[in-house]
Amino acid sequence: MQDTLILSIESSCDETAAAVVKNGREVLSNVIYSQIDIHTLYGGVVPEIASRKHIEKINQVVEEALRQAQLSLQDITAVAVTYGPGLVGALLVGVSAAKAIAFAAGKPLVGVHHIEGHICANYIDHPELKPPFHCLVVSGGHTHLVCVKDYGQYEILGRTRDDAAGEAFDKVARAIGLGYPGGPKIDRISNEGNPEAIDFPRARIEGSVYDFSFSGLKSAVLNYLNSCEMKGVAINRADVAASFQKAVIDVLVGHSMEAMEQSGEKIFAIAGGVASNTHLRAAMEQACEKRGITLYRPEPVFCTDNAAMIGVAGYYEYRNGVRHGWDLNAVPNLRLGDRI
């Protein structure tokens, strides 16, 4: 059978990325231009700057992805692109580039949901993984507990009611002066802190066992910092980071394992930027092992935003017959399962 080669593009936030993926499982190239250095100056992602940087870099990363894969545009089967959710101006750059490339080369165009991409990152390097399974998606913009029923078929079991897990990491990191992006910095400094030092709240939502809420936890951290300041008590940043992180992880692991026990499902996966957190990975490993559950987690480079995951998701959408027209638009609030 002929190989299916997907050229994929991702530009939903602050990474300009392109990749080539073979048959939905093998990454031939994965090029990421991260804008983090620029946004760090402002303490977070500035949408207007993100869009402009995407425009500057998009052609370069696409050319580099093809070069590293040692392929020309004519060898490609289809072009896949993230069309939502994300920052509208940022998404538009990737969508416009993908449309232009696909049109010029006479290739089919496949729009991909960003969260579906994160979930599909688990198929990379794990040829044995097939639906059905459950997946926890934890990123800067999303916290979803999902039942992956089949390729391209998702049922959302729970979602955050307010802040996403990664957003909470970023806000707490800023409050304790660690800077942006907060996740990796909290991950690192926590190694020197005591996770039991401060008893931060673990929120449960009445009537929605799988939903999440992190804004109360974020406020509790801010209140703790304010009260220390007012009392003139020195703040141990490592203890605050470790205790906050433990509160997030307890809830993520708790909800996930409850869903696994209720469903009787034995395959679990994690995805998204926060899934690269070393403490979360270890806690999930332990919880799954205790219950005889097989755990999948992408390599850290495939957890944070990248185009390879979009190429994998694009492959399965392409195989399911999904084709988008030249009128494909960016959809900043695209929901998982929506079709345009």
Residues 6+ apart with CB under 8 A from 301: 30, 32
Which CB, 102 or 115, lies closer to Zn ion? 115
Q: Which range in 155-163, 164-172, 259-267, 327-335 contacts ligand KG4 by CB under 6 A?
A: 164-172
Q: CA torsion 111→115→119→121, rounded to 10°? A: 60
The footprint of ligand KG4 on this chain (CB under 6 A) covers a number of residues equal to 19
Residues 6+ positions from 39 with CB-CB distance below 8 Å: 14, 45, 46, 49, 50, 180
**77 versus 143: smaller Cβ distance to ligand KG4:** 143
The one-character DSSP state at 336 is: T
Select from 182, 193, 311, 314 the one that contacts ligand KG4 (CB under 6 A): 182
Q: Is residue 217 within the footprint of ligand KG4 (CB under 6 A)?
A: no
User: How many other C-beta atoms are found inside a 10 Å radius of the C-beta of residue 149?
Assistant: 12
Q: Which does 244 bind (CB under 5 to 8 A by kind): Zn ion, ligand KG4, none?
A: none
Cβ proximity to ligand KG4: between 76 and 287 the closer is 287
How near is the Cβ of 165 to ligand KG4 at its closest, in Å?
Answer: 7
Number of other residues whose CB lies within 10 A of the CB of residue 18: 36
Among 273, 298, 311, 314, binds ligand KG4 (CB under 6 A): 273
Q: Which of 8, 29, 82, 139 binds Zn ion (CB under 5 A)?
A: 139
Omega within 30 of 0 (cis) for the link into 201: no
Which CB sits closer to Zn ion, 35 or 243?
35
| 141 binds ligand KG4 per the rule CB under 6 A | yes
> Binder to Zn ion among 10, 163, 305, 317 (CB under 5 A)?
305
Instruction: Give start and end residues of each alpha helix (H) in 106-214.
Output: 114-120, 165-175, 182-189
Q: Binding ligand KG4 by CB under 6 A: which of 5, 7, 13, 148?
A: 13
Neighbour tally for 140: CB within 10 Å: 24
Residue 85 as a binder of ligand KG4 (CB under 6 A): the answer is no
Contact 124, 298 (CB under 8 A): yes
Minimum gap (Å) between residue 214 Cβ and ligand KG4: 11
What are the tokens at 144? 């979803």
CB of 118 to Zn ion, least distance (A): 6
Q: Is 140 in the site for ligand KG4 (CB under 6 A)?
A: yes
DSSP string for 134-159: EEEEE-SS-EEEEEEEETTEEEEEEE
Q: Choose the binding region for Zn ion from 32-40, 132-140, 180-188, 262-270 (rule: CB under 5 A).
A: 132-140
Point out which residues pair with 111 in neighbouring strands: 81
- Residues at the interface with ligand KG4 (CB under 6 A): 13, 139-141, 166, 169-170, 181-184, 187, 272-274, 276-277, 304-305
